[in-house]
Chain A
Amino acid sequence: MSPQQFRDISWNGLWKQNPGLAQLLGLCPILAISTTMVNAVSLGIATVLVMTVANLAVSGLRNFVPYEIRIPVFILIIAALVTMVDLAFNAYFHDLYLVLGIFIPLIVTNCIVLARVEAYAAKNDPLTSTVDGIMMGIGLVWVLALLGGLRELLGAGTLFSGIEMIIPGASAWSVFGDDYPGFLIAILPPGAFFALGVLIAVFNVINARLAARARRQPPPTAPAPATRAEGDGEAVAAG
């Protein structure tokens, strides 16, 4: 994998094709879990793990999977991997499992995992596919952290509540003091849509500014040839 390729994959995952802001895949867990920052990041980390392993496994096996039955085979692989991650966490990282436990099975239904497997890992070699899984996952994590932090801050006036489940002894940061009356709608599901909508709007504004600046100042060298189609746009049915 060339450095340029690595940069492209990273840029795609972290910003351009960000799963939470651009591809809008896996909204169900994003909206359900992002009530607090700790919950959101925990789910994000579990998703990174599953996406990385799933991309690696599928790209390694891609030559043995007939085209006609690729979707059921991919789902089988993802479900088996999630089950194994779930069992391994339960057995060897039990404290973390008590926090992430309820989220891990949810990842099977997260269509971002299937989308990356189908759009990227099924067509690329294991190394780039693994990097793609990691970068897409990290792209999801920072959006989840922002979304969870925003909702928690507005809704409960705290940040990092629940951190003691991960770091014993640490405690939540009460930003607005104990008398903050709370803003319930931010924590309820509609708040998730509002907050995500705001984030996507900001994302689009920044992209528009970047595009405008790029037009004003054309790069000194010739524009790079279009990267080969990575199937990023052809998202599997959003779930």
Chain B
Amino acid sequence: MSGRYTATRTSLRTGGIMLLFTLAFTALMASTFQVTRPAIEASRQEAQMRLLAEVLPPGSYDNALLDDYVRFGPAPQIGMDAGGRVWRARKAGEPVALIIEGAASDGYAGRIGLVVAVHRDGRLSGVRVTEHKETPGLGDYIDPRKDRRKDTPWIAQFTGATWAEVDTAAWTVRKDGGSFDYRAGATISARAVTRAAGRSAAFAAQRMDALFAAPAGGLLGDTQ
């Protein structure tokens, strides 16, 4: 009986119990992960599809948009230091539009992620903010879900804008002599999104043919 409560025995016993708990709960988590994975993947795809549908009307193309994408290498000029993706919309095999990922690093609070849809002729189909940390109630009108003017959201002004008509210097807010609106009190968020949308649109427009020609799932190296 004297050996029953020695330090070694206690350590081994508690260590063993800890191990058992770890194994049991890791197994629980692993099985939850396995069970939920197909459903999570499906809802992730659906959410992505919904986002793409906001910038490009679903009726305007007929290919499987989510599968028809090209990766591009590091492109710091559009904020994608680690590269990003471009989805290619086609109708009856003919190019319709590109949807490109972009980002702004000059927002009020960190990175602002974007998707920008550009028609074959360089016209913008739409811009959406995918992630941001701008001040709630002030700069967050860049996200139409937070925009108080539901009928004329700020971000809608990019629809129909053309890269060829609006030159680089004008792709900013009116306060800086550009051609896009901003809301009083929060210029920085609007300026960051406007410039980033312009840069991403230019990036896609300048590489339109190369992006459409690249094999699906492939990598476009020419990004500088």
Contact = CB atoms under 8 A, between A and B. Distances in A.
A62 B4 CA distance: 22
A115 interface: no
A84 B21 contact: no
B25 interface: yes
B32 A161 contact: no
Nearest to B32: A84
A87 B136 contact: no
Contacts of B17: 64-66, 69, 73
A26 B43 CA distance: 31
A98 B47 CA distance: 9
A64 B46 CA distance: 43
Contact of A35 (B13, B33, B136): B136
A161 B146 contact: yes
Nearest to A94: B43
A77 B20 CA distance: 12
Nearest to B25: A80
B170 interface: no
A234 interface: no
Interface in B135-173: 135-138, 145-146, 148-150
Contacts of A66: 13-14, 17
Given A69-B18, A83-B29, A83-B32, A91 B137 contact: no
Contacts of A188: 135
B92 interface: no
Interface in B16-41: 17-18, 21-22, 25-26, 28-29, 32-33, 35-37, 39-40
Interface residues of B, number: 31
Interface string B39-51: 1100100110000
A68 B146 contact: no
Interface string A75-107: 011001001100110111010011000000000
Task: Sort chain A's interface into a size bin.
Answer: 35 or more
Contacts of B35: 91
Interface of A, secondary structure class, is helix
Contacts, number: 85
B185 interface: yes
A182 B138 contact: yes
A90 B43 contact: yes
Interface in A27-55: 35-36
Contacts of B137: 35, 152, 155-156, 158, 161, 182, 184, 187
Contacts of B25: 76-77, 80
B33 A87 contact: yes
A92 B42 CA distance: 10
A172 B26 CA distance: 42
30 contacts: A69-B14, A69-B18, A72-B18, A76-B25, A80-B25, A83-B29, A83-B32, A84-B32, A87-B32, A87-B36, A88-B32, A91-B35, A91-B36, A91-B40, A91-B43, A92-B39, A94-B43, A152-B137, A155-B136, A158-B137, A158-B148, A161-B137, A161-B146, A162-B145, A164-B145, A172-B148, A174-B148, A178-B149, A184-B135, A188-B135
Interface of A: 35-36, 64-66, 68-69, 72-73, 76-77, 80, 83-84, 87-88, 90-92, 94, 97-98, 152, 155-156, 158, 161-162, 164-165, 171-172, 174, 178, 181-182, 184, 187-188
The 9 closest A-B pairs by CB, nearest first: A156-B137, A91-B36, A91-B39, A94-B43, A80-B25, A84-B32, A87-B36, A35-B136, A91-B40
